[in-house]
Structure 1
Amino acid sequence: MGVLELLWAYIVVFVLAALPFFEAYGVIALSIFAGLPEIPVILISLFGNILTVLLLILFIDRIKEWRRKRKGEKVEKQPSKRALRAQNLWKKYGLPGLALIGPLFVGSHLTAFMSVTLGGQKKSTSIWMIISITVWGVVFALLSHFGVDFLGYEDRGILRDIIQND
């Protein structure tokens, strides 16, 4: 893989990790399976995901105001299943529990949004979200690394091998 191709791959990794519902841990796993170097992928994915979550927390008040205006002062009907899961996690485990468990079920962006909405302080939510994103990123990186190693694909990407065999 050339330098330019690698640069574009890293840009895609960053953008995907920064997007809501494309979590860093998922992007890390896919990138490792694709054969990209692990350490840069982990760092770039974590940075992309953490950056957008911190921006969301920083501008949460403006985002809530935008959502309220967009809905036109409508009274919300029933909370979504995701919101109910987040509320249950909050009641049972508080901010640390929601921050650590939430990204696996509802994504890190929605978890951060719900954490602040349910009463978490911005600073505490930021710290717990950074911890959570980092922990899950490292866990999935290790699982992916050993999975690739176990399958015998340590020198070439699984996805690249599948594509080339077709």
Structure 2
Amino acid sequence: MLEFLWMYTLIFLLSAIPLLEAVIVIPFAIFAGMPAVQVTIVALIGNLVTVYFIIIFIEQIKKWRKNKKPSKKSTENRRSQRAERIWKKYGLPGLAIIGPLIVGSHITALMSLTFGGTKRGVTYWLTFSLIGWCVLAAILAHLGFDLFNTRDRELF
């Protein structure tokens, strides 16, 4: 019992880490033999909790970024530029749906709010998007695992 609690805690924590995210953790946990439904739920909750913290504390995050020492190079990175192009072309729904795969859900939340999205809109769209991506990752991992499972097949 303690072993399962430890594994689910680890999935929760890994999913909460920016750039590691639930969409990456879910397939690894399923490939490790953990149940897909439980893994998906725990990973999704871990990812959403930290995204919600970003949404709730966006003002403090903006102040912190503003007060941070400016670097000598003030060029935007490629991910930020890509996210801004998506925002200009598709708005909040497009960035919320495409963003978690391109820049990660945490950066997507931050950029959506920075580009002018409302807290409520970003919360709804990112929740919807993350549920979809996590379910898709779990289904694909489960199907991929079953396709390559050769235990029950005879080799000759």
Same fold (TM > 0.5): yes
Q: Which one of the candidate residues 93, 100, 106 is aligned to 1:109?
A: 106
Please tell me whether residue 126 in structure 1 is matched to residue 103 in structure 2: no
Q: Which runs of 4+ in 1 moved over 6 A?
A: none
Please tell me whether residue 55 in structure 1 is matched to residue 48 in structure 2: no
CA deviation profile, 1:47-76 (whole Å, cap 9, x unmatched): 00011101101101101101111225x797
Instruction: Name the SS of the counterpart of 1:71 in structure 2.
Output: coil
The 1:153/1:19 distance shift into structure 2, 3 A limit, reads farther
> How many pairs are equivalent?
152
* Within-5 A mapping of 1:10-29: 10-29=8-27
CA deviation profile, 1:30-89 (whole Å, cap 9, x unmatched): 1000111111111000000011101101101101101111225x7972211111001000
Identity rate, percent: 47
Give the aligned CA root-mean-square deviation in angstroms: 1.7
Q: Distance in 1 between matches of 2:16 and 2:59?
A: 20
Please tell me whether residue 96 in structure 1 is matched to residue 93 in structure 2: yes
Q: Distance in 1 between matches of 2:138 and 2:39?
A: 9
The 1:75/1:61 distance shift into structure 2, 3 A limit, reads farther
Q: Distance in 2 between matches of 1:151 and 1:68?
A: 50
Q: Distance in 1 between matches of 2:129 and 2:46?
A: 14
CA contact (8 A) 1:148 1:154 kept: no
Gaps of 5+ in 1: 156-166
Q: Which one of the candidate residues 22, 31, 36 is aligned to 2:29?
A: 31
Please tell me whether residue 135 in structure 1 is matched to residue 132 in structure 2: yes
**Shift in Å at residue 154 of structure 1?**
8.5
Moved more, 42-51 or 146-155: 146-155
* Within-5 A mapping of 1:146-157: 146-152=143-149
Q: Which amino acid is 1:127 matched to?
A: Y
Gaps of 5+ in 2: none
Q: Distance in 1 between matches of 2:48 and 2:58?
A: 15
TM-score by length of 1: 0.87
TM-score by length of 2: 0.92
The 1:154/1:71 distance shift into structure 2, 3 A limit, reads farther
Query: Comparing both chains, which one has the higher relative contact order based on Cα–Cα distances under 8 Å and sequence gaps of 6 or more?
Result: 1
